[in-house]
Amino acid sequence: MGLIIKNASVLNAAGELELKTITIEDNRITGIIDAKSTVESNAEVIDAEGKLVAPGFIDMHVHLREPGFEHKETIATGTQSAAKGGFTTIACMPNTRPVIDTADTVKLVLDKAESEGIVRVLPYAAITKNELGRELTDFASLKEAGAIGFTDDGVGVQNAQMMKDAMTLAASMDMPVIAHCEDESLVVGAAVNEGTFATKHGLKGIPNESEAIHVGRDVLLAEATGVHYHVCHVSTEQSIRLIRQAKQFGVKVTAEVCPHHLLLSEEDIPGLDANWKMNPPLRSPRDVQACIEALEDGTIDIVVTDHAPHSAEEKARGMQLAPFGIVGFETAFPLLYTKFVATGKWTLDFLVKRMTSDPARVFGLEQGKLEVGALADLTIVDLETEQAVNPETFLSKGRNTPFTDWNLKGWPTATIVNGQLVWSAK
């Protein structure tokens, strides 16, 4: 049968848009030809007139909540939400219940993703059993089962020797260690950034050092062990300084940043509304600027959402008691497109690369390319139509976003995974 995408605006090697016809057979791109040439075929045709066709977006940091927290999200709803956001490959975190810390749980997630998911799901496995920081998991069997890396996301690995052992073992099997950087002794009882908002509301704050101390420790351990070390959700200028220096010294360190840490600071938080509560917290405007510059100069490699759905009831517990986290799939591209590309700060090519070929490069994935022979994972995006963020329309079970009512452009309209249309706006 096959699939043909007509009138596709495609980014070329020079980062400019060109009008093409894309042909797909089975799960591969078979042709990217001049839009004027005619193709004889009985294939299904999608007309992408006026729209961007990009490699499917890749999100290397997401929470699907299954198994164990199905009231927040499931693999079915999470992958639907991802598809609606234009994501075709997502890497899910192991802080589920049970934690993804055994081969059986890795397989369970992969099986569910296969039967109920609509985009590709790559599972991470935990560094320590139950993410308790006490005992390493069985890295070999987790890799064998299909885990793509090790992380205790949700918490930091507090013990340096434990982290060093994890890195030594991961390096020996050519696997990355992905770190949620947080020193627990510095954040007891804290819910928001240590700064203006915390002071105003009499809340205990999360200091920048709680993140950067782990980054500093871990780049030294990465240097000593030779592991590929990837820093989760970077939010502070101090962490960035340490990553930048480590990269200069040839340490195999990579890093990610979330849209909210590029777009919001603690000064934007309207009040004690837990839809503005996430970990790491919204920092100072100075940190936001440092994150933007670090992504621009390559110190930070990729954009991830850290899609972290929670129920309305959980989020209603208030700033101090509600769980940390906001949803991200369905707003990520429109937010960054509207605020950085449409304003002329970044090129479209720059943003697309940070969400496609760069995550693929960092994690050694075959995805992230739009070329003949590549996997047919594609995202079609309307760059013109403005629409307000309405959480009621999310396919995610989570409605916890600080971006409600933001007027944005750059909305995905169709998502193709493995040559199949898995989601479309109509």
Ligand X SMILES: NC(=O)N[C@@H](CC(=O)O)C(=O)O
Annotated binding site: 61, 63-65, 95, 153, 180, 233, 279, 306, 310, 324-325
Applying CB under 5 A, which of residues 59, 153, 266, 287 lies at the interface with Zn ion?
153
Indicate the residue among 398 and 410 with the shorter CB distance to ligand X: 398
Stretch that binds ligand X, among 35-43, 46-54, 118-126, 318-326 (CB under 6 A): 318-326
Ramachandran region, residue 419 (left: φ > 0; alpha: ψ -120 to 50; beta: rest): left
Question: Does the protein bind ligand X through residue 63 (CB under 6 A)?
Answer: yes
Ramachandran region, residue 72 (left: φ > 0; alpha: ψ -120 to 50; beta: rest): alpha
CB of 291 to ligand X, least distance (A): 15
Considering just the CA atoms, what is the radius of gyration of the chain in Å?
21
The catalytic position among 287, 301, 306, 377 is 306
Indicate the residue among 211 and 237 with the shorter CB distance to ligand X: 211
By CB under 6 A, the residues from 345 to 404 that bind ligand X are: none
Q: For residue 314, what are the contacts with CB-CB under 8 A and spacing of at least 6? A: 72, 322, 323
Applying CB under 5 A, which of residues 20, 51, 120, 180 lies at the interface with Zn ion?
180
3-state helix, strand, coil in the chain (%, to 5): 35, 25, 45
Contact flags string 94-123 toward ligand X, x per CB under 6 A? -x----------------------------
Query: Beta strand 192-193 with 205-206: parallel, antiparallel or unpaired?
Result: parallel
Contact flags string 163-182 toward ligand X, x per CB under 6 A? -----------------x--
* Burial of 426 (C-beta count, 10 Å sphere; 0-12/13-18/19+): exposed
Question: Does the protein bind ligand X through residue 311 (CB under 6 A)?
Answer: no
Q: What are phi and psi of 420, to 5 degrees?
A: -115, 135
Question: Does the protein bind Zn ion through residue 131 (CB under 5 A)?
Answer: no
Question: Does the protein bind ligand X through residue 278 (CB under 6 A)?
Answer: yes
For residues 32 and 2, give the distance between their C-alpha atoms in angstroms, rounded to a whole number: 14
Question: Does the protein bind Zn ion through residue 287 (CB under 5 A)?
Answer: no
Q: Is cis: bond before 280, omega within 30 of 0? A: yes
Residues in the chain: 426
Question: Does the protein bind ligand X through residue 59 (CB under 6 A)?
Answer: no
For residues 272 and 298, give the distance between their C-alpha atoms in angstroms, rounded to a whole number: 35
**Is 174 considered catalytic here?**
no
Contact flags string 320-339 toward ligand X, x per CB under 6 A? ---xxx--------------
Interface size with ligand X, residues (CB under 6 A): 12
Q: Strands of 57-62's sheet, edge to edge?
A: 57-62, 87-92, 120-123
Question: Does the protein bind Zn ion through residue 306 (CB under 5 A)?
Answer: yes
Q: Which residues bind Zn ion (CB under 5 A)?
A: 153, 180, 232, 306
| Catalytic machinery residues | 306
Q: Which residues bind ligand X (CB under 6 A)?
A: 63, 95, 153-154, 180, 278-279, 306, 308, 323-325
